[in-house]
Amino acid sequence: MHELSVAHAVVSTVLDALPSPDTRVLQVRLRVGELSGLVPQALEFAYDVAAQGTPLADAVLVIERSPIIIACSTCGDQPIASATDFRCPVCGEPCGDVVGGKELEILDITLDDTALANADLVGA
């Protein structure tokens, strides 16, 4: 249940990135790796709670999942299907060297720039 802590971190990071405190956020896109330990549904629920009363309140949360990728010493980088079996899918050798799947990042945010565009017009 640390999804709420993570959701608060998402909201606070996005708020820090806004050009002005009243900029409306339309969409937040995250990348969440299969090995990150986060459950997307729980994160969506927590996000709705954390975003309430902020410029993110109406923003759509888009979660992209990224697969677990191991670096097999023989076969190179290979995605594996499950976190319960760290073996190269090609040669079958056990491998714990992970190069992908732990991601927990904000990719980008989509902002409503109407207010800012109008301000530019007024200023022009």
Partner 1 sequence: MTTRIVDLRKGILEKNDLLAQSLRGRFTDAGVRVSNWVSSPGSGKTALLEALLTTAVERGISAAALVGDCATDNDAIRLARSGAPVRQIVTESMCHLESEMISTYLEGWDLATIDLLVVENVGNLVCPTAYDLGEDTRVALISVTEGEDKPLKYPQLFHSADVIVITKTDIAAAVEWDRDAALAAIRSVNPAAPIVETSARTGDGVLDLLDLLISTLTPTHSTQLQEAP
Nearer to partner 1, 75 or 106 (CB): 106
How far apart are alpha carbons 109 and 27 in whole angstroms? 6
Choose between 53 and 85: whose C-beta lies nearer to partner 1: 85
Q: Which residues bind partner 1 (CB under 8 A)?
A: 1-2, 5-6, 9-10, 13-14, 17, 26, 30, 35-38, 83-87, 94-96, 98, 104-114, 116-117
DSSP 36-58: S---HHHHHHHHHHHHTTSTTTT
- Number of Cβ atoms within 10 Å of the Cβ of 61: 18
Contact yes or no for 71/77 (Cβ under 8 A): yes
Which residue, 52 or 97, has its beta carbon nearer to partner 1?
Answer: 97
**Least Å from the CB of residue 48 to partner 1:** 16
